[in-house]
Chains A and B, each alone.
Chain A
């Protein structure tokens, strides 16, 4: 889902950066609030950030014969909510833009929007929707992570289609082409990410039953 450095026209690059900025400002505010009130939450924050770091570094093979990577945003979103996870997602993207030439600074806004913002809000809303439909807890975790992964890539495809409409078939044609590159490849990877997120959540709940309940209101509120 990384749009390469320089591969968005200037107006789009600026537009996506401006769109991402308020989420990051609010997220940073929420993050410092959380750290001040619940210093013990740092451990979980470390684990969530670590999970996003690991998963976005792993390019996995897919049934379409190409490779892509999961995002790891779902876990942290379930634990901390979407706005804090926007910030962590952006940190991962900055690391990759600076040290790996993967993504870029001019495309940071667009990549933040797809992975960190759409990714985390999709995870949050699918988690809550599944919860309210009385889906078992692990099913909610799976859905949150898998939908977040998939929607991140759908967003990237649409961002590219907006920037590069097809000369012949326009926006719709370009969307179809970019979705063709990203969407099918991503389906098995989204399932993989869902399974991995359930696994880590299982382990966290098993190892830190008490702290996870007291530290994370979002968690206990939904855990019945």
Chain B
């Protein structure tokens, strides 16, 4: 189990780092690693220049910094929930001497 988990972590790291290390900046100066959601939006506005979005977000993060803070917050809420569960199970098991 331990070896398998280590291999899984290694696999995730490889898959994430490989593109970061291999993809060179584009010669035409276009940004790399932009979001695919945004690219789809560009595709729509190029193919249908007359399309007008008919509803705007009620609130938008005022800057990239605020946006990344909120994404960080979302991830940390999730991580806290997961951590709480593992802590709970660990606590339960340490109170059962028969399980040792």
Q: A residues within 8 Å of B by Cβ?
A: 1-7, 10, 43-44, 46-47, 49-63, 65-68, 95-102, 104-106, 138, 156-157, 160, 164, 166-167, 174, 177-178, 181-182, 185-186, 188-189, 191-192, 195-196, 198-200, 202-204, 206-208, 211
Contact = CB atoms under 8 A, between A and B. Distances in A.
Contact of A59 (B35, B77, B80): B35
A6 B93 contact: no
Contacts of B81: 46-47, 49-50, 53
Contact of B85 (A43, A96, A160): A43
Contact of B5 (A10, A174, A188, A203): A203
Given A67-B35, A195-B12, 12 more contacts: A5-B55, A47-B82, A50-B79, A56-B74, A61-B20, A65-B33, A101-B57, A192-B16, A200-B82, A202-B1, A202-B4, A211-B89
A189 B72 CA distance: 19
A46 B85 contact: yes
A2 B38 CA distance: 9
B60 A101 contact: yes
A51 B78 contact: yes
A168 B4 CA distance: 50
Main secondary structure on B side of the interface with A: helix
Contacts of A196: 8, 12
Contacts of A44: 85
Contacts, number: 182
Query: Ordered nearest first, which 4 A-B pairs have the shortest CB separation?
Result: A53-B78, A50-B81, A6-B53, A54-B78
Interface string B39-81: 1110110011001011111111100000100111011011111
Contact of B19 (A166, A167, A188): A188
A217 to B, nearest CB: 19
Interface of B: 1, 4-5, 8-9, 11-12, 15-16, 18-20, 22-23, 26, 32-37, 39-41, 43-44, 47-48, 51, 53-61, 67, 70-72, 74-75, 77-82, 84-86, 88-90, 92-93
A1 B88 CA distance: 34
Contact of B54 (A6, A56, A60): A6
Contact of A47 (B8, B36, B71, B85): B85
B40 A182 contact: yes
B53 A181 contact: no
A63 B32 CA distance: 11
Contacts of B82: 46-47, 50-51, 54, 200
Given A54-B78, A199-B5, A66 B35 contact: yes
Contacts of B32: 65-66
A195 B8 CA distance: 6
11 contacts: A5-B55, A7-B44, A44-B85, A66-B34, A104-B55, A160-B44, A178-B43, A182-B40, A196-B8, A199-B5, A202-B5
Contacts of A95: 74
Nearest to A178: B40
Given A97-B57, A164-B51, A181 B39 contact: yes
